[in-house]
Amino acid sequence: MSEGFPETVVQARQRVSELLRQAGIDTPELDSRLLLQRVTGLAHAQLYLSGQQPLTASQRQQLDGLLARRLRREPMAYILGQRAFYDLELEVTPDVLVPRPETEALVEAAIAWGGQFARRAWAVDVGTGSGAIALALARHLSATMVAGLDISLDALRVAKRNAQRVDVTERVMLLNSDLLAALREPFALVCANLPYLPTAILTQRQPEVRDYEPRLALDGGTDGLVLIRRLCEMLPTRLAKRALVLLEIDQGQGETVSALLSAVRPGAQIRVLRDYAGYERVVRAEWL
């Protein structure tokens, strides 16, 4: 671009999209739009209406800095510092896993079941990270108190800020805990999106996951189920008589995790739920 002719919004978007495409990034058009919105402050529709608006020198410098980060395959959520999840807008930092749409299947199942309680009930989100699951439950289950647990203090700081953002601090308790170790009382609803990727598989994932997201939130050990297995061993003393457990899993883990939950307590009604792409995503175990 000639120094005498400032780059317009539409030209910048075309340039950024092409560079992202050449770098092998799957969503070049979306990413370029989000980056332009960040530096210009324009809404989605305004971005098109203001296509011939020239970028200022400051905006161009900021855009090129953000673009360089994305070309290094840093996740967009970390670059922008936020991520939409369910109906929440959450702060996201490299201290937490990027919330994913697939996890919304777990949230939907939890809300559908938890809505039956007219009196106060307790739910727990094990490995809360950014607080995505815990905060969605607190927002949509008005009679439910939610405990969000995480072994990472850095992650809990992010979850605390998100609880303030969503305005549910009065019904969310955030605790530093190795799985359920900090709790003694029984819970009616237990949700967990724990690390479930086998260590060897993790090394083969895309750079955004492998190189940037916290390994603590991804690495499930040799078979991917080390923490899920430990959690199931703790559940017998932490479940109310009537209870629901929802565990997020990877494709192909449904049968094994179902067996682990079946051994928790007799009488479990267990189903494997699939996400919108048709993959095994959540194991649902209910005791009536």
Kindly report the pTM of this predicted structure.
Answer: 0.93
Report the Cα 67 to chain-centroid distance in Å: 23
pLDDT of residue 115: 81
| Bridge partners of residue 274, in order along the sequence | 280
Q: Which amino acid is at 210?
A: R
Q: Which two tokens stand for residue 286?
A: 């209910």
**Residues near 193 by Cβ (< 8 Å), separated by ≥ 6?**
97, 103, 106, 127, 129, 133, 248
Say which residue the tokens 């949509």 belong to.
140
pLDDT of residue 178: 97
Q: Can you give the pLDDT of all 288 residues of the chain as single tens digits?
A: 445 457 999 999 999 999 999 999 999 999 999 999 999 999 988 888 888 999 999 999 999 999 999 999 999 999 999 999 999 999 999 999 999 999 999 999 999 998 876 567 899 999 999 999 999 999 999 889 999 999 999 999 999 999 999 999 999 999 999 999 999 889 999 999 999 999 999 999 999 999 999 999 999 999 999 999 999 999 999 999 999 999 999 999 999 999 999 999 999 999 999 998 999 999 999 999
Report the Cα 232 to chain-centroid distance in Å: 22
pLDDT of residue 70: 98
Q: Which amino acid is at 274?
A: R
CA–CA distance, 112 with 110 (Å, rounded to integer): 5
Q: State whether residue 233 is helix, strand or coil.
A: helix
Q: Which amino acid is at 167?
A: D
pLDDT of residue 2: 42
